[in-house]
Amino acid sequence: MAEPVDARCARELTAVFEELGAADAGALAALEALCFSSPWSEAQFVSSFGQAAFRAFGLRAAGRLAGYAAVYCGADELELLNIAVLPELRRQGLGARLLDGVLQAARKTGMNRGLLEVRVGNAPARALYESFGFAPVGRRKRYYADTGEDALVYQLDLASREECCMRKIVAANWKMYKTRGEAAATATALRRLLDGNMPEGRDVVVFPPFLAVSAVAEALAGADRMAVGAQDVYPAAEGAFTGEVSPAMLRDGGASWVLVGHSERRHVLGEDDAFVGRKAAFALEQGLKIMVCVGETLEEREAGRLEAVLARQLDAAFAGVRAAGCGDLAVAYEPVWAIGTGKVAGPREIAEAHALVRRLLVRRFPEFGNNVAILYGGSVKPANAASIIALDNVDGLLVGGASLDAESFSAIVRA
């Protein structure tokens, strides 16, 4: 008999966090006392976590209990009873990490809904929950005995992302490599390796140089789940823009996707955030799907500016975007220091950045931000692709150097 969803979810949570029991009641009570005006007593902890229905999961930092989440795993919904993080660690995003881990476990195991209650006046907590896509669905009058405050009931639909995440996009950026003949030959070889034989749940997009877009589109015409895109676009229908290419010209050449804001365009060709935003909005309006590239330089990362840089780039890229749904767009997180350098971001760095991008997407597109694909790019090779694509919130890969050869790229698609 299949294991029930609630048991699977608890098992997944136990794999990610340390499960706490009655023996941890003292440490939990001390943590609560630091976090809340009316903390639970040790006796409440012992009686609550002594019951099988409630489970508490802790996060340790520097050898001490730095935060915990208490949850109730129902048949198909997960209720978050309490979440607390040491005040001095909140600014480091520990609360978000805890919440993200709990929600990932719930999604992975097929939970449909997340639920929680929060004090009406607790603005920071409400902002955190809302950034993960929780929305208020009700109000409980005078719910908190200590202050008589109302509680807001928040709910998050978890099921839709589960479905969407079944598919992953593996994209090839051929940069300024390959003549038309070379591009057509590589696309034909790729089709031979993948068409009719595409691994379950994968979509391929090839981004050749402009002049080869139509040759690649012809080589891939009618192939199953293989699309063509362009590496750039100009945000106007037509006009005196020497050297530029419009969305209609790209569609005419057979492109259905376009990259905007690739790091080489930002850092080598000097494109700024606002220009990237104009391209994104116009290309989408003109019927192309957009893959928005974002990522920090090493200097920005080392200065602790990862979140600020990603937020600035995404805000600008989507400022004028009126997307109808998650299928219209994707985001590629590509740390600049990992592109073409052979340096791959580590799993924790990737998971952290992707979780940040997810929160920013949900904030920008509350109805479908949870379902937008987030690809990782930066020195992906056949040998590291499988471990990267398996990470939480990694919905695909954008591959440069290793996509130039059909065998190597098809090995990545199969990873």
The shares of helix, strand and coil residues in the chain, as percent rounded to the nearest 5, are 45, 20, 35
Tell me how many residues contact ligand PEP (CB under 6 A).
14
Q: How far is the CB of 377 from ligand PEP (least distance, A)?
A: 4
Query: Locate tokens 């979140």: which residue?
Result: 307
Which candidate in 12, 130, 262, 352 is catalytic?
Answer: 262
Asked if residue 70 binds ligand PEP (CB under 6 A), the reply is no
Q: Between 113 and 381, name the residue whose CB sits nearer to ligand PEP.
A: 381
Q: Between 114 and 378, name the residue whose CB sits nearer to ligand PEP.
A: 378
Q: Between 173 and 246, name the residue whose CB sits nearer to ligand PEP.
A: 173
Sign of CA dihedral 33, 38, 43, 44: negative
Q: Between 257 and 365, name the residue whose CB sits nearer to ligand PEP.
A: 257
CA distances from 392 to 70, 157, 355, 389 (A): 21, 17, 8, 8
Which among 35-43, 120-128, 302-310, 394-402 is the span making contact with ligand PEP, rule CB under 6 A? Answer: 394-402
Rounded to 10 deg, the angle between the 406-413 and 180-194 helix axes is 40
Nearest-5° Cα angle at 136, 70 to 365? 105
Sign of CA dihedral 360, 114, 124, 136: positive
Show the site string, 357-386: x = touches ligand PEP by CB under 6 A, - = not: --------------------xxxx------
Residue nearest to ligand PEP (CB): 400
Contact yes or no for 94/59 (Cβ under 8 A): yes
Asked if residue 401 binds ligand PEP (CB under 6 A), the reply is yes
Which candidate in 12, 117, 296, 334 is catalytic?
Answer: 334
Contact yes or no for 156/135 (Cβ under 8 A): yes
Q: Between 119 and 202, name the residue whose CB sits nearer to ligand PEP.
A: 202
Asked if residue 400 binds ligand PEP (CB under 6 A), the reply is yes
Q: Between 97 and 301, name the residue whose CB sits nearer to ligand PEP.
A: 301
Contacting residue, 398, 406, 412, 415, with ligand PEP by CB under 6 A: 398
Asked if residue 313 binds ligand PEP (CB under 6 A), the reply is no
Asked if residue 339 binds ligand PEP (CB under 6 A), the reply is yes
Asked if residue 276 binds ligand PEP (CB under 6 A), the reply is no
Q: How far is the CB of 204 from ligand PEP (least distance, A)?
A: 15
The alpha-helical segments, DSSP class H, found in 221-334 are 247-252, 263-267, 273-285, 298-302, 306-318
How many residues would you count in the chain? 415
Distance CA 383, CA 377 (A): 14
Q: Which two tokens stand for residue 235?
A: 């945000």
Contacting residue, 82, 173, 313, 370, with ligand PEP by CB under 6 A: 173
Q: How far is the CB of 73 from ligand PEP (least distance, A)?
A: 39
Q: Which two tokens stand for residue 249?
A: 């010209």
Distance CA 55, CA 366 (A): 29
Q: Between 382 and 400, name the residue whose CB sits nearer to ligand PEP.
A: 400
Whether 3 is catalytic: no
Asked if residue 85 binds ligand PEP (CB under 6 A), the reply is no
Asked if residue 133 binds ligand PEP (CB under 6 A), the reply is no
Which among 5-13, 183-191, 235-243, 334-342 is the span making contact with ligand PEP, rule CB under 6 A? Answer: 334-342
Whether 262 is catalytic: yes
Q: Which of 57, 62, 53, 51 is nearest to 28 (CA)?
A: 57
Tell me the backbone φ, ψ of residue 56, rounded to 5 degrees. Answer: -115, 135
Q: How far is the CB of 207 from ligand PEP (least distance, A)?
A: 9
- Secondary structure (3-state) at 292: strand
List, in order, residues 6 or more apart from 47 with CB less than 8 Å away: none
Asked if residue 399 binds ligand PEP (CB under 6 A), the reply is yes
Q: Which residues bind ligand PEP (CB under 6 A)?
A: 173, 175, 334, 339-340, 377-380, 398-402
Q: Which residues are catalytic?
A: 262, 334
